[in-house]
């Protein structure tokens, strides 16, 4: 400010006017700067408030789900002409497929293709805008709520543990589980070593005193919860997506044991986990574009073959990088 005033004076400016203007700028400038900063902060908070209100409105506008009183025994899964959209964005478009009792069906495809939405619809996190979903030949909407929840175990890619003891986290799967049942679930899921390494064991409260787990460890504990629940319909969404190689091996081994004789809908991030599936469905842009066993789909030389080749190149690159 001072150098500017000197320049105006040296170039013939009115000294009294220059000094007067400079004093005004000195007095008003800082206050104006504070006003601008406060306006920016208020604008930012207004944006956050509007976004939060929109989320609350979406929750309030969400249609309440209605349940029936059915309690069917058979556990098969069927999608019949199912379509679903988030607002105006169609995610699932007229999808039909079935999973027989005791069968393992895998969903693969590019990210954002609709695989996770199919899994969430199967667990009735949402209801489709059109079409029907059946479990054991009964429309999923006709089931009693508790019966439906008891029929399904799911392990999603972001496995969540709550800030309570590990014992209480596991008991979410089965509230009246005995200590022997809990220990067996830990053994079956390969999670016993995680608990054994904790000073307070199952009484350790997750999230306190720095007690946190890696993504793979959290998934293993989540699978232990699924073992404990022992539901007949299993939904697995990219269970090894965030696991390191050691955890991935343990997870794959425990999952094979978990899915034995169960109706299983599986989404795989790593295609090596689903080569033995009874059927593989390739999902892209909300549609099932290919269907068959691993070898059958490779021989078709279609989209699954491209996904498999890309996966093999990625694995080769990782192995090559480790050997260097």
pLDDT tens, position by position, 265-300: 999 877 888 888 999 999 999 999 999 999 999 999
pLDDT < 50 regions, the chain: 5, 7-9, 59, 324
Look over the chain and give the mean of its residue pLDDT values, rounded to a whole number: 81
How far apart CA 137 and CA 205 sit, in angstroms, is: 42
The SS3 call for residue 233 is strand
pLDDT in the model for residue 266: 92
Domain ranges of the chain: 1-61, 77-316
Instruction: End-to-end CA distance of the chain: give it in Å, rounded.
Output: 60
Per DSSP bridges, beta strands 279-284 and 130-135 are unpaired
> Per 3-state DSSP, what percentage of the chain is helix, strand, and coil (rounded to 5)?
50, 20, 30
Crossing angle for the helix pair 2-10 and 15-61, to the nearest 10 degrees:
140
Task: Return the SS3 of 15.
Answer: helix
85 contacts: CB under 8 Å, gap ≥ 6: 91, 92, 129
Give the model's pLDDT for residue 5: 46
CATH superfamily of 77-316: P-loop containing nucleotide triphosphate hydrolases (3.40.50.300)
DSSP 55-92: HHHHHHHSPPP----B--S---EEEEEEEEEETTEEEE
Q: Using DSSP, state whether 61 is helix, strand or coil.
A: helix
pLDDT of residue 141: 92
What pLDDT score was predicted for residue 8? 47
pLDDT of residue 324: 47
pLDDT at 75: 86
Residues 18-33: pLDDT tens digits?
A: 565 666 666 666 666 6
- The pLDDT score that the predictor gives to residue 6 is 53
């Amino acid at each position: 400010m001072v150098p500017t005033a000197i320049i105006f004076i040296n170039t013939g400016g009115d000294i009294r006017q220059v000094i007067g203007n400079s004093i005004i700028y000195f007095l008003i400038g800082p206050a104006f700067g504070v006003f601008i900063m406060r306006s920016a902060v208020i604008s930012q908070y207004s944006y956050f408030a509007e976004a939060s209100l929109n989320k609350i409105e979406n929750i309030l506008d969400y249609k309440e789900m209605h349940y029936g009183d059915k309690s069917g025994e058979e556990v098969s899964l069927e999608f019949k002409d199912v379509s679903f959209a988030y607002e105006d964005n169609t995610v699932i478009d007229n999808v039909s497929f079935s999973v027989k009792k005791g069968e393992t069906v895998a969903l693969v495809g590019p990210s954002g293709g609709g695989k996770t939405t199919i899994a969430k619809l199967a667990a009735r996190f949402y209801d489709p805008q059109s079409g029907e979903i059946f479990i054991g030949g009964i429309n999923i909407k006709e089931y009693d709520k508790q019966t439906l929840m008891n029929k399904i175990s799911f392990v999603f890619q972001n496995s969540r543990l709550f800030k309570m003891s590990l014992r209480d986290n596991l008991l979410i799967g089965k509230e009246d589980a005995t200590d022997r049942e809990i220990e067996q679930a830990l053994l079956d899921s390969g999670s016993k070593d995680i608990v054994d390494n904790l000073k307070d064991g199952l009484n350790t409260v997750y999230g306190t005193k720095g007690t946190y787990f890696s993504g793979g460890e959290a998934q293993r504990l989540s699978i232990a919860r699924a073992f404990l629940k022992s539901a007949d319909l299993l939904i697995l969404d990219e269970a090894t997506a965030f696991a390191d190689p050691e955890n991935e091996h343990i997870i794959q081994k425990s999952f094979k044991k978990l899915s034995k004789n169960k109706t299983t809908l599986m989404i795989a991030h790593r295609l090596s986990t689903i080569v033995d599936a009874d059927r593989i469905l390739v999902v892209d842009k909300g549609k099932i574009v290919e269907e068959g066993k691993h070898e059958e789909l490779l021989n078709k030389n279609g989209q699954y073959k491209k996904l498999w080749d890309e996966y093999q190149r990625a694995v080769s690159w990782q192995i090559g990088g480790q050997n260097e």
